[in-house]
């Protein structure tokens, strides 16, 4: 029997210690905000916070979370939407939305460490994969929360270093 503190509430789950935290949260505690994406801790759809740090819960043993504070998307704010969720809506970040809970959790951790992050800090922290390519809007929302101008507001330049270059002005 594992005892976990999830969203400020002590919960117990009768699971094997090596079971990934994602499955404990989803299947045993009914918290389905973290999503299964890849199962190998790459995509980030399963990101939750453990002691304030973003963790890919699909590859994180539940026993490693015992005695630590776990926060899921459901526990970000007791008063409705968290400010990052509000920024996501204001900047129309999601498209399909599947990866967005993990993106939001990563952004919350980033802003807790770096209230006014640089583009480099955003790139380093926001390693989640998005099949819809919402990276530019993610960056804009984070800069908006930081009170700094969003990089690339005026142009169509890609916001991720691994994105292909944008066509030059006047080219289609």
Domains present along the chain, CATH in parentheses: 2-75 (3.10.20.30), 83-146 (1.10.150.120)
Q: Is 22 exposed, middle or buried (0-12, 13-18, 19+ CB in 10 A)?
A: buried
Closest CA to 90 of 155, 153, 138, 156: 138
What are the residues whose beta carbons fall under 8 Å from the beta carbon of 167, sequence distance 6 or more? 156
pTM above 0.75, yes or no: yes
Instruction: Check residue 124 and give its pLDDT.
Output: 96
Instruction: Check residue 148 and give its pLDDT.
Output: 54
> Would you say residue 170 has pLDDT above 60?
no
Give the pLDDT mean for 37-65.
98
> Would you say residue 158 has pLDDT above 80?
no
| Confidence class for position 163, pLDDT limits 50, 70, 90 | very low
Instruction: Check residue 151 and give its pLDDT.
Output: 40
Q: Which regions of 9-168 does DSSP assign to beta strands (E)?
A: 9-13, 47-50, 53-56, 69-71
C-alpha span between 135 and 143 (Å, rounded): 12
> Would you say residue 111 has pLDDT above 50?
yes
Return the percentage of the chain with pLDDT > 70, whole number: 85
Instruction: Check residue 153 and give its pLDDT.
Output: 34
Instruction: Check residue 156 and give its pLDDT.
Output: 29
C-alpha span between 109 and 101 (Å, rounded): 13
Query: Cα torsion at 14, 17, 20, 23 (round to 10°)?
Result: 0
Highest-confidence range of 74-83, 101-110, 139-148, by mean pLDDT? 101-110
């Amino acid at each position: 029997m594992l005892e976990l503190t999830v969203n400020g509430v002590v919960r117990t789950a009768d699971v094997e210690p090596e079971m990934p935290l994602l499955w404990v949260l989803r299947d045993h505690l009914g918290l389905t905000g973290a999503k299964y994406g890849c199962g190998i801790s790459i995509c980030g759809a399963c990101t939750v916070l453990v002691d304030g740090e973003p963790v890919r819960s699909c590859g994180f043993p539940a026993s490693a979370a015992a005695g630590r504070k776990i926060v899921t998307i459901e526990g970000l704010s007791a008063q409705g939407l968290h400010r990052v969720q509000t920024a996501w809506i204001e900047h129309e970040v999601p498209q399909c939305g599947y990866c967005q809970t993990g993106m939001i959790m990563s952004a919350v951790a980033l802003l807790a460490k770096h209230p006014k992050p640089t583009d480099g800090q955003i790139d380093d922290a926001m390693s989640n994969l998005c099949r819809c390519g919402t990276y530019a809007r993610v960056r804009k929302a984070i800069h908006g929360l930081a009170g700094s101008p969003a990089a690339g507001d005026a142009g169509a330049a890609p916001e991720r270093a691994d994105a292909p270059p944008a066509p030059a002005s006047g080219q289609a």
